[in-house]
Amino acid sequence: MLSVNGRRMQLPPKVWFQLERLKKALRSTFDFSKKDYDTSYRMCPSCRALVERGASRCPLCGEKMRSPRARSGATGSGKLLGVIPIPSTATSVIVAVNIALYAISWYMTVSLTSGFNAPSAMGGISIEALMHLGAKSPDILLAGQWWRLVTAIFLHASLMHIGFNLWCLFDLGPEVESLFSTTKFIVFFLVSGVAGFMLSLWWSPFGVSVGASGAILGLIGVLIGASFHHGHLGKEYRNQLLRWVLYILIFGLFFHGDNAAHLGGLITGVLLGYLVPEGEAESQAGQSLWNTLAALSTIVIAGSFALMALQIGHPYR
Reported as type and span, the H/E element at residue 8 is strand 7-9
Residue of 192, 230, 262, 297 marked catalytic? 262
Residue of 137, 213, 227, 304 marked catalytic? 213
| Number of residues that make up the chain | 317
Which residues on neighbouring strands pair with residue 51, listed in sequence order? 42
Distances (CA, A) of 219 to 7, 41, 165, 308: 39, 21, 12, 26
Q: How far is CA 160 from the centre of its chain?
A: 18
Active site residue 262: yes
Active site residue 204: no
Q: What's 281's DSSP letter?
A: -
Region at 144 (left for phi over 0; alpha for psi -120 to 50; beta for the rest): left
CA distance 208 to 229: 37
Neighbours of 281 (CB within 10 A): 18
CA distance 183 to 71: 12
Provide the annotated active-site residues. Answer: 213, 262
